[in-house]
A = this chain, B = another copy of it.
Amino acid sequence: MIRQTRHEMLTEIKTRFANRALTDQEVPQEVLEALVEAASHAPSCFNEQPWRFLIATGERRERLLATLTEQNQEWAGRAPVLVLTLSKKTFTQGGRDNYWHMSDAGCATGFFMLEAERRGLTAHPMAGFSRKQAREAFQIPEEYDIVHVMAVGWPGDLHLLSEKNQARNHPKSRKPIEELLL
């Protein structure tokens, strides 16, 4: 199912959605690095590049998976890769608080997701996890805020999902443009 949009737009924006039907097929290291590189070309205040990525496969994937809500574990447990995204709170030069670190990190994860989409992969961001547990599990220093966890994998058959998840595995609707304009 592809989004119906009023205007033409980037294919990857149209086709991307929070797909839960992922297979357990491995994602090559080279591809994961390409996604991080795509993210790295996002703009940031003073070119600070506050974004960081903890790519969790193998044992680290198990550890990160355990921090997700039960509902997310159910489907994201199949994803071969989980990514913990982080954002550095202060400017490296001078050490002042960086007001833009979260919005810049969000932009970078957007680039990550769209490059994943271009490669036929899904990168599905989740807020449903314990930031506290994730911080402890990987001893994340206080200088980084935790952004989210992304499940990364290859889209698969809808029947991988429970009936409940099958029913909601489609692009969600959006506010009309008019409601976004001030």
Give chain A's interface residues, CB within 8 Å of chain B. 3, 5-10, 12-14, 16, 18, 30, 33-34, 36-43, 45-47, 49, 51-55, 84, 86-87, 99-100, 102-111, 113-115, 118, 125, 127, 138, 140, 147-148, 171-172, 174-175, 177, 180-182
- A177 near B33: Cβ-Cβ < 8 Å: yes
**A and B contact pairs by CB, cutoff 8 A, 17 listed:** A7-B34, A10-B12, A13-B38, A13-B111, A14-B41, A16-B43, A33-B177, A36-B181, A40-B174, A40-B180, A41-B174, A49-B174, A54-B182, A102-B103, A106-B106, A106-B107, A111-B114
Which of A86, A114, A171 has the most chain B CB atoms inside 10 A of its CB? A114
Residue among B38, B103, B174, B177 making CB contact with A106, cutoff 8 Å: B103
Looking at the complex, which one of B18, B34, B103 makes contact with A43 (CB distance below 8 Å)?
Answer: B18
Taking CB as reference atom, which chain B residue is nearest A128?
B45
Q: Please name the residue on chain B nearest to A118 by beta carbon.
A: B10
Q: In the complex, given contacts A49-B174, A114-B114, what are 10 additional A-B residue pairs having Cβ atoms less than 8 angstroms apart? A: A3-B41, A5-B37, A5-B41, A9-B41, A13-B111, A14-B41, A42-B110, A45-B127, A87-B103, A106-B106
A46 to B18, CA, bound (A): 11
CB distance from A93 to the nearest CB of B (A): 14
> What residues of chain B lie closer than 8 Å to A115, measured between beta carbons?
9-10, 13
Contacts of A103 in B (CB 8 A): 87, 102-103, 105-106, 109, 147-148
In the assembly, what is the distance between CA of A113 and CA of B101, in Å? 18
Contact A43 B9 (CB under 8 A): no
Contact assessment for B36 and A9 in the assembled complex, using a CB-CB cutoff below 8 Å: no
